[in-house]
Structures are given as structure tokens and as C-alpha cells.
Structure 1
Amino acid sequence: MSQHFSSADGSAIVGDLVSVIVANREYLSEVDGAIGDGDHGINMAKGFAHCGRTIDGKQLSLAEALDELTLSLMEGIGGSMGPLYGSLFIGMANEVRDTPTIDAAQFARLLRGGLTSLQDITDAGVGDKCLMDTLIPAVEAAENAARDGASFDEMLAQVKAAASKGRDSTKNLVAKIGRASRLGERSLGVLDAGAVSCCLILTRLADSVEPRLRS
């Protein structure tokens, strides 16, 4: 049987996402402060921490835990990031409802579901200096790995590598959306905060899933 993990580990997996965002609160705000309002880390940590308190002590499926994360972000984060990340996570959740185990192909669909949901509310894409510069290459890496018959752990490694490369690419991009777009060429030379937070999330998701893989 192919590698897979149990969807019953949802609380622990989403708890790991909460931990990485809360731990990087100051760093994310520092990155955002270079060309934005400087509150990305504050807002993200607020929403994720709320989710952490909500799921604490509960045994939720991955879809249920992602639902709670969606609600916390939609209701607790100001600006655009609440709806954006909320859409991402609800799209992921919808791909694994009533799915007891998740294999590599299903994980690729989970990522694609998140991206598709996000694309319902934004036209942003690769090259716009935003979280899409991280997310889209990571989703494509997962789908390519699934198509090529890679093992689940190989897929996770490729997702992390693509996310990191996408994040780093934003340093050499001019912002085309959001408040940073007003800076024009002055937005060059720094990372995009959304791309950074998305990379943290995808990397921690992969790192949380990997030790839970069973054959």
C-alpha cells in the first residue's frame, strides 16, 4: 500500500501550523515593515493563536481542524490576509472531508483545492510579489511528483523546495498588487511577507505530515 497518513491527526497538524506562525510573529512583521504596514506577523499570529486555543484538547479530523483555522482567520484578521488564507484553508479542508487516510495523490489534491479556492477571490499569480509566488510552484511540484509516481516523502521534499524558491524569488520582483504596489521599483530587494508566511505554512505542513507517514 502507498504511503499515507491518518486524517484523524488534524488537531496536531494544524497545531503545528499555529506554532510556526506564532513563533515567527516578529519576523513576519519585520519583513512586512520593509514595504508594507508591518503588521502581517501580528495579524497572522492573532488569528492562528485563536485557532490554537479553539482546537486545544480536541481530537479533530484534518478537515475539521482546517475549518476551525478558517473561521479564526476570517473573523480575527484585519485587511486582506484573513479572507485570502481563509479561502486557502477551506479549499484544503473541502478536499479531505470524510477521507480517513490521505496519500500523496490526495495531498496534491488538497493543495490544489486550496489554490483553486483562493483563485476564486483573487486574480494574483506568480510574478505579482505575493503569496502566490510561493503557493503556485508548491502546488505544481506536488502534482508533478504525483504524476511521476514519486513517494510521498519525495513529494513533500519537492513541495518544500519549490515553496522556498518561490519565496526567495519575490526579492527580485516589483510588487504589482496590494499597498506595496504603490512603491513601484522601491519594492525591489525585499521579500514579500505573504510569500514568507505561505512558505512557513507549507514547510511546516510537510514537516508535520512526514513523520506521520505509514505504508
Structure 2
Amino acid sequence: MTTETLRTGIAKIAAQVEPMGAHLNELDGRLGDGDLGVTMVNGFNNIASISDDLPEDFGMACMECAKAMTKVSGSSFGTLMGISLMAVAKQTKGETEIDWERLPELLQAALDAMIARGGASIGDKTMLDSLTAVIAATAGKSTADASLSAAVEAADSALKEFHDQPCKIGRARIFGDKTKGMDDPGMVAIKSMIDCFA
């Protein structure tokens, strides 16, 4: 992974973020504040606007992306995205090339940072569960293609696994068992971003 890899990923998400945002707003409107899609659109459009100027230092590039995300987002999802990018930035500052085998380690750092800040736990039916599945699936993968294939399958499986479980955190928890049979918007957002790379 390099900053150029990051630029490619940003471009792929930005190219599809408008329809993705509309879908996520609809899902989030049923269980939350209805602003998840707005967060995605504003955040990734802002990141895309600075993409060409990102430094070759991968960690510093991630830090600039974190700043761009949080600058235009007041939502909890945007805050957690920013925090996760900052966690990766700390792990990779000063490096220009990152082995793909380190992807699970970096995702784990992001996950730990989000748990510490957000208060959710694994099993609460949130994007944390999607990331946990992706971390496990990408362990030992040494190429971009192998990592992506594993991540796509893991994100799909996580959505299916939690589809019929209740949401246990955030505004959605007040709906209790009514959230069974409904996808968590954050989990859908993670899957949607991964699908953009595919």
C-alpha cells in the first residue's frame, strides 16, 4: 500500500458516493438520525478534493484524510472514521510502502480506537462487527487482490449474520426487537466502501 493506493481508493469511493449516500440516508432514517449518507458524501468529496496533494508519507496522508473527513462532518460516523484514520496514521507515520500483510494490524488499530471513543462493543450490530470480520478474513493475505476478495466476502457474511439480530447501541437500540431483519446502516456503509474497490 502506498499513498497512490490511497488515492485510487478515494477516487473509487468518491465516484459512487452520491447514490451510496442516498441509500444510506434512507437506511439511517429508519434507525438513526438519517444523516449517515450526508456524512459519507460530504466527507469523501472533501477527501477527494485534497487527494492530489496528499504526501507520499502514508501515515501523514491518512492524517490529512482524517482532517478532511472531520472538517465537514459532525456525525458520530464521521468522527469515528476520522479517529480510525488517525489510528492508522500513527502506525504508519514515516513509511511510504506498507505490506498488505499488515492490513489486519492496521484495521485492528482503527477498530480499537473506535471502540475506545464510541463506546460500542463487538456484537452490538455496528460497523465494528463488519471490521472484526474483515480483520479475521484478511489475516495472512499478502496481496491486494487476496485481501479485497476476503474483505468482500467477510463484509457480506457479517451483514447476513447480524441481519436478524437486534441493534444494541445508539439511537437504534430504542427500537429493540423491531430492528431484527433490518441491516445496520454503519455495516452497510463498510460493505459499500469495500464494494467500491471491487
Q: Hey, what does 2:132 align to over in structure 1?
A: 136
Contact 1:7 1:102 in 2 (8 A): no
Contact 1:11 1:60 in 2 (8 A): no
TM-score norm. by structure 1 comes to 0.80
Q: Hey, what does 2:96 align to over in structure 1?
A: 100
Contact 1:130 1:195 in 2 (8 A): yes
Deviation at 1:24, TM superposition (A): 0.7
Q: Hey, what does 1:34 align to over in structure 2?
A: 30
Contact 1:66 1:90 in 2 (8 A): yes
Query: Could you tell me which of 15, 22, 43 is aligned with 1:19?
Result: 15
Q: CA distance change for structure 1 residues 178 and 108 in 2, over 3 Å: closer, same or farther?
A: same
For structure 2, which runs of at least 5 residues remain unmatched after alignment?
none
Contact 1:163 1:203 in 2 (8 A): no
Query: Could you tell me which of 45, 54, 65 is aligned with 1:69?
Result: 65
Letter in 1 for 2:191: C
What fraction of aligned residue pairs are identical, expressed as a percent? Answer: 24
Deviation at 1:124, TM superposition (A): 1.8
Aligned length: 196
Q: CA distance change for structure 1 residues 87 and 59 in 2, over 3 Å: closer, same or farther?
A: closer
Q: Hey, what does 1:157 align to over in structure 2?
A: 149
Q: Distance in 2 between matches of 1:38 and 1:97?
A: 35
Q: Distance in 1 between matches of 2:16 and 2:150?
A: 20
TM-score norm. by structure 2 comes to 0.86
Q: Distance in 2 between matches of 1:168 and 1:11?
A: 30
For structure 1, which runs of at least 5 residues remain unmatched after alignment?
208-215
Contact 1:21 1:200 in 2 (8 A): no
Query: Could you tell me which of 179, 188, 191 is aligned with 2:183?
Result: 191
Q: Hey, what does 1:173 align to over in structure 2?
A: 165
Deviations 1:15-48 (A, max 9, x none): 3333343341111111112222222101221122
| Misfit runs of 4+, over 4 Å | none
Question: What value does the CA root-mean-square deviation take over the aligned residues?
Answer: 2.2
Deviation at 1:167, TM superposition (A): 2.4
1:121 aligns with 2:117: yes
- 3-state SS of the aligned residue for 1:101? coil
